[in-house]
Structure 1
Amino acid sequence: MEFHPYFGFLITLKETLKLLPRNGKLLFSVTLISLLLSSIFFWIFNFSSFSLMRDMLAKESLFPMTSSNSAEFASKLMGIKENFPLVLSTYIAFVLAYLIIFFFSTITAVSVSAMSYNFKILTSKELTLKFVKSCPRIFITGFYTTILVTGYTFFVISLGTPLLMSSDLAILGSAVLLEILAYIFYLYISVAWIMAIVLAVHEEIFGIQALGKSAEIVKGNRLNGFMLNIFLNLLSLGIYLGSNMIRGNTRVSGQTISGLFLVNFSCLVKILTFVIYTVFYFQCKKENGEATEFHGSNVYSKIPTTPMVNDVP
């Protein structure tokens, strides 16, 4: 069945659904571990930050009862200042925990999906070794992609901010339209950036080299990648709206429950993203005439498309 070019991404989604049962137990275990880690770190972060903020607010509420020149006022002020490093360290720990979960889920999702695509079984030992070797490459490539995303974001903000300061409704509407178009364009150009992460795991390249090769691989297939990004972002939007509904309908600890819901389903979408992009990677290689064959734990090479000719003595 042939799809319209705008719906070619459905082939990738269809192949992804076929791929999921292969190495299904390992992929399920990886997903479960990622969700458990996300939940544990979220609960720790939520409890710690809430306790610290509550303590700071309690101390701040006592300020009106004390004179600004008294020793008691100075003591309370010092108590609040002492809490700031704790709050900062809590947020830093949360970011580090997020990076650990991101590395784990990304590397395992790409590795298991690549093996499944080639009908190979990946053992836990091989997966652990793959994780250790891939972490530095993921970190470096992620650093470069973060710079690109940040630079693009600041560029768009610098263009839109002057327009948003205007009181003219037409100019404000133009600013909103500009932001929407900028985000749509971001979904288009970020195809190669996400693919670079897949390459960092699968082909053992990183940084500028991974970004350059990913741009070559998606050439001619960027529209399908763009449609995949739209699909994944709509899925993320649905999860975000669902978490808001939970927050609105829950009286007790609604914010905590909705936050846990958002964190876990965001983790699921992230794993799904890299499973889909791994399938998309192989499809792009196939479209470019670079069929791949498995040779060992993590090395794939190009299969010659021309017949082999034996040498004549």
Structure 2
Amino acid sequence: MATSNQSKSSNLFKIIWEALIFLIKNWQILLIFVPLYFINFLLSIFKSLSVNPILTKLLQNITSLSKLKPPNPDFYQIFSEILTELREITILEIIFFVTIFLFSTLLSTSTLCSICMTYTDKKQPTLKELFSKFKKTWKGTMITQFYATIFTNMFVPLIFLLTVGLALFSMNSAGFYVLSFILLISAVILNLYLAMIWLLSVVVSVEDEEGIYGLAAIVKATEMMKGRRWKGISINIFITSSMVAYMLPLMDPSLSGMKKLAIIGVFFAVAAVMNVFDLVVAVVFYFECKKGDGELMMMKKNQSGFGYSSLPSEALADSENP
């Protein structure tokens, strides 16, 4: 068992190391896409700057309204302002959601096209080759990403409500608190697993030879994760922890003025690089899954002659490591 765990751990670091070496050797990818990811982050900031003032005013009006009764003339005025603010927030949220979704999906698609072509061909694609692959895959990738976004937005609130519900109805029972804690940990692990499936399904939409996308890509990504669930979860833990690591400096309350702006600038630069690196890790993991699933065919002799059969993961691993 110890040898098996050590092998899985070394395999995980091998994927991360291979992704790092790939990105160092093909640093041109960073030059092309990092500035675009920077723009993506700026869109998120612009969204916050647009929505937060209205949200703050909305909360103030709700607090004021709670202290008034309908006969008071100010009640109807504040109530009208609340409805206006809710309408403004809804419109802004929809506009920014659509804009950021479209931009980030098209950006991740073009980045994955470049990474996959460089990874398989061992050379940087020309602009014409990159545009040709992008034109073939962007619609399917967007549909896949749309499904992944819907499933994510359904899963997280559902688990949150279940956990809070158990905690509220626990009646100070230690057993229910333990059950809530177990459910929460299980939900976190499941979310990491599902997030890796969503990411892998996007790579499938870009790279799969059959041109599958949407739910079919998610199904294929799920099949590719069989036998590699913990490896996929471990990779996602690495991706998530790296994001948390470069966010920590922003949480320092003592930061102010130019120092804070400088750290935010560095944060965006590092975050953009990490976004590209995370996609490289996903691509390396995707090709390892394909290799392990026995897409390398082996000829075997049978009674009627020769036939082809797909090797199981374990047999392929043994043949690669004599």
TM class, shorter-length = 0.7 to 0.9
- Residue 235 of structure 1: which of 217, 242, 250 is its match? 242
**2:218 alignment partner in structure 1:** 211
* Alignment partners' CA distance in 2, 1:146 and 1:264: 25
- Structure 1 residue 18 displacement after superposition: 1.7
Whole-angstrom CA distance in 2 between matches of 1:120 and 1:181: 42
Change (3 A) 1:57 1:15: closer
Q: 1:45 aligns with which of 44, 47, 55?
A: 47
Q: Distance in 1 between matches of 2:47 and 2:147?
A: 28
For 2:197 and 2:97, the matched residues in 1 are separated by 25
- Measured in 2, the distance between the counterparts of 1:59 and 1:219 equals 52
Give the aligned length.
289
Give the Cα separation in 2 of the matches to 1:152 and 1:69: 43
Please give the residue correspondences for 1:70-89 in structure 2 after superposition, counting only pairs within 5 Å.
70=73, 74=76, 77-89=79-91
The code of the aligned residue for 1:16 comes to A
- The structure-2 alpha-carbon separation of the partners of 1:212 and 1:125, relative to structure 1 and needing over 3 Å to count, comes to same
Q: Distance in 1 between matches of 2:254 and 2:119?
A: 42
Unaligned ranges ≥5, structure 2: 301-322
Q: Which has the higher contact order (CA 8 A, sep 6+)?
A: 1
Residues 282/60 of structure 1: CA separation in 2 closer, same or farther (3 Å cut) = closer
- Whole-angstrom distance in 2 between the partners of 1:57 and 1:151: 26
Q: Which amino acid aligns with 2:99?
A: A
Question: In 1, are the aligned partners of 2:200 and 2:286 still within 8 Å (CA)?
Answer: yes
Q: CA deviation at 1:196?
A: 1.0
Q: Does 1:12 align with 2:15?
A: yes
SS at the partner of 1:206? coil
Superposition deviation, residue 158 in structure 1? 5.6
What residue number does 1:100 align with?
A: 102
**Corresponding residue for residue 119 of structure 2:** 117
Is 1:199 equivalent to 2:201 in the alignment? no
* Paired letter, 2:231: N
Which deviates more, 255-264 or 114-123? 255-264
Residue 177 of structure 2 corresponds to which residue in structure 1?
Answer: 172
The whole-number CA distance in structure 1 between the counterparts of 2:60 and 2:286 is 54
Q: Is residue 31 of structure 2 the alignment partner of residue 28 of structure 1?
A: yes
2:31 is paired with a residue whose SS is helix
In structure 2, what residue type is equivalent to 1:29? I
- Using the TM superposition, give the Cα deviation of residue 281 of structure 1 relative to its aligned residue in structure 2, in angstroms: 1.1
User: Aligned-pair distance for 1:10?
Assistant: 0.7
How far does residue 258 in structure 1 lie from its aligned partner after superposition?
A: 8.5
The answer to whether residue 142 in structure 2 is matched with residue 135 in structure 1 is no
TM normalised by structure 1 equals 0.75
* Rounded Cα–Cα distance in structure 2 between residues aligned with 1:45 and 1:189: 27
**Counterparts of 1:13 and 1:185 in 2: how far apart (Å)?**
22
What residue in structure 1 maps to residue 310 of structure 2?
A: none
Q: Return 5+ residue gaps in structure 1 as ranges.
A: 292-303, 308-313
- Inter-partner Cα distance in structure 1 for 2:173 and 2:80: 47
Identity %: 22
Q: Give the aligned residue type for 2:142.
A: F
- Aligned residue identity for 2:10: F
Q: Deviation at 1:177?
A: 2.8
CA contact (8 A) 2:23 2:277 kept: no
Could you tell me how far apart the structure 2 residues matched to 1:261 and 1:94 are?
24
Please give the root-mean-square deviation of Cα atoms over the aligned residues, in Å. 3.8
- Structure 1 distance, partners of 2:157, 2:61, is 37
2:186 to 174, 181, 190: 181
Q: Residue 284 of structure 1: which of 289, 304, 307 is its match?
A: 289
Deviation at 1:164, TM superposition (A): 0.6
Instruction: Please identify, of 255-264 and 200-209, the stretch whose mean Cα deviation from structure 2 is larger.
Output: 255-264
> Which segment drifts farther, 43-52 or 272-281?
43-52
Answer whether contact 2:20 2:277 (CA < 8 A) is retained: no
Shift of 1:148: 4.0
SS in 1 for 2:116: helix
- CA distances 1:143-164 after superposition (whole Å, capped 9, x unpaired): 3334444554455446434431
Rate the CA distance shift 1:189–1:97 in 2: closer, same or farther, 3 A. closer
| Structure 2: distance between partners of 1:230 and 1:134 | 28
Once the two structures are superposed, what CA deviation does each residue of 1:93-127 show, in whole Å capped at 9, x if it has no partner?
A: 22123213321332123112112212132233443
- Tell me the residue number matched to 1:296: none
1:4-25: CA deviations, max 9, x gaps? 2233111111111121134422
Deviates more, 1:203-212 or 1:252-261: 252-261
Aligned in 2, Cα 1:37/1:107: closer, same or farther, shift over 3 Å? same
Distance in 2 of aligned mates of 1:152 and 1:23: 37
**Maintained 8 Å contact 2:19/2:277:** no
